[in-house]
Amino acid sequence: MVNYKDKIEELKAKNVLDEEQAQKLSGVLHDKSMTEETSMGEPLEIDEKSHTLRWIAVFVVLFLLLFGVLYNSLVNKSESVDMAWSQVESTMQRKLDLIPNLVKVVKSYAKHESELLTQITSLRANAKDMLQTKDTSKLAKLNTKLNSSMMQLFAVAENYPDLKSSEHFLQLQAQLEGSENRINITRMMFNDAVANYNSAIRKMPQKFIANVMGLKSRAYFKAEKDAHKKLKVEM
Q: Which residues contact 200 (CB under 8 A, 6 or more apart)?
A: 73, 74, 77, 206, 210
Structural domain boundaries of the chain? 4-50, 68-213
Question: What is the rounded average pLDDT for all residues in the chain?
Answer: 82
CB atoms within 10 A of CB 10: 11
pLDDT tens figures, 80-97: 999 999 999 999 999 999
Phi then psi dihedrals of residue 100, to 5 deg: -60, -35
pLDDT tens figures, 24-61: 666 655 555 555 444 444 555 567 778 788 888 888 88
CB 70 within 8 A of CB 206: yes
DSSP assignment of the chain, as one string? ---HHHHHHHHHHTTSS-HHHHHHHHHHHHHHHHHHHHHHHHHHHHHHHHHHHHHHHHHHHHHHHHHHHHHHHHHHHHHHHHHHHHHHHHHHHHHHHHHHHHHHHHHHH-GGGHHHHHHHHHHHHHHHHHHHHT-HHHHHHHHHHHHHHHHHHHHHGGG-HHHHT-HHHHHHHHHHHHHHHHHHHHHHHHHHHHHHHHHHHHSTTHHHHHHHHT-------PPPTTTTS-S----
pLDDT tens figures, 115-171: 999 999 999 999 999 888 888 888 999 999 999 999 999 998 888 999 988 999 999
Q: Which residues contact 110 (CB under 8 A, 6 or more apart)?
A: 156, 157, 159, 160, 163
pLDDT at residue 56 in the model: 86
- Please give the CATH topology (third level) of the domain spanning 68-213: de novo design (two linked rop proteins) (1.20.1440)
CB 205 within 8 A of CB 70: yes
